[in-house]
Structure formats: C-alpha cells, structure tokens
Amino acid sequence: MIKIMIADDHEIVLIGLKKLFEDKEDIKIIGTAADGRQLLEQLNQNAHETDVVITDIGMPDIDGLDLIPKIKKNWPQLKILVLSAYTESEWIERVFKLGADGFIHKNSSHEEIPQAIRTVLQNKKFLSRKIENDLYLETIEKKTQKHSLSRLSEQEYRVLKLIVQGKSNKEIAAHLSLQASTVSTYKNRIFEKFHVQNLSELIAVTLKNKIIH
C-alpha cells in the first residue's frame, strides 16, 4: 500500500483528490494539510509511514518552495510531487532544483496523478503531458530571458517576495533573521540580476514576468 500526504490550501482540491483515491486499492491518503506548516507537523508524527508527499506551490505560512527543501533535509527518503496550475519553465526548473521528484498540472487527467505517484516511487522523474507540451512550445528566448526566476538563490527569492509585499529593509531583516545591511546586499544582487535601477522597476519587472505569485 502506497501512503501519501497532501498539502493544498484549496479545500476543493483536497476533496477532489480524496475522491480520486477512494477506488485506488494500492494508494491511501493518510494526511491532508492546508499549508506547509501543518504538513510538517504531521510528518513529524507520521513520516515513517509516508511514501509520497503531494504539495501545491502557493500556500499561506510555509509555501511549497520552502516546504520541499525542508522535507528533503529531514526525510530524504520521501518522494515529492508538486501539484500546481503553473506551467512556466521557471517554476518547473525551481521545484526540481529544490528536490521535487515530479510536477503535475492541476488540469491533468485523473489517471496521471496515480501514474505520477507510481513513477516517482521507481526513482524516476515525472512531468505532466500538458506541461511537457507547454514547455515544448516555449521559445529559446523565453527560456533564457534575463528575468529568469532560476537565477535567484533561495535567500534572494525570499527577499524578493518580501520586497514585493512592500516590506522595508528592517522588516525583511526581522522576518528572515538577517542584518539590515545583509538585506541591502541581497537587494543589490537582485537589482543586478534583473538589470533594474530602483525598487519601482524591480516590482514592475517582477509583476510583468509573474515571478512572484
């Protein structure tokens, strides 16, 4: 029996997945969570009984991008599938870089999700057909654009998220347990990587390219 846990902040998604696995004799949901923090709490108790974690990217508190490395650090044996509506190559590259084993689009057929679970348990990577098609249609220019999300380090990405939320250097420093001067250094690096001169340009580029969702 394959045992899975699911993290998604949309109740309708959780309900749909529960219904999907009702008639799967070899797959059982042993826990669900509305955000990454809840999932980590459950894994602290039941990771030894879990085979696969399915997680969304955009969630409150601890999102999928922060959740993946935490799981891989504490429970490296667990397989992680990302279930998301995002199809941009930047997101795909980032989640695999963080340690995800597969990426499923939320509009995938119902049969693709059990297939993905069985695939990653064979130590293979999985990518939804829809995402494969979308990535194929992307141009080389899109993949190499200078505003690529994959160029940011994890800490730079966290700083960028807080910048877009309107946080000051002092607030960002407190949130990430950093010195204000360190935040300034990260901000300057982000400016350089995005080829912008000021905060207004950075936010405009970030929103235009859907780098922060």
Span(s) in the chain for CATH 1.10.10.10:
149-208
* pLDDT tens, residue by residue, 10-44: 999 999 999 999 888 999 999 999 999 999 999 99
Indicate whether 109 pLDDT > 90: no
DSSP SS3 for 117: helix
Q: Cβ contacts of residue 68 below 8 Å, gap of 6+?
A: 55, 80, 82, 95, 98, 99, 100
Q: Whole-angstrom Cα distance, residue 70 to residue 125?
A: 19
**What percent of the chain has a predicted confidence (pLDDT) above 90?**
58
Span(s) in the chain for CATH 3.40.50.2300:
2-137
* pLDDT tens, residue by residue, 140-196: 344 434 455 667 888 998 999 999 888 999 999 999 999 999 999 999 998 888 888
User: Which listed CATH number (1.10.10.10, 1.20.120.50, 3.90.1150.10, 1.10.510.10) goes with 149-208?
Assistant: 1.10.10.10
Fold of the 2-137 domain: Rossmann fold (3.40.50)
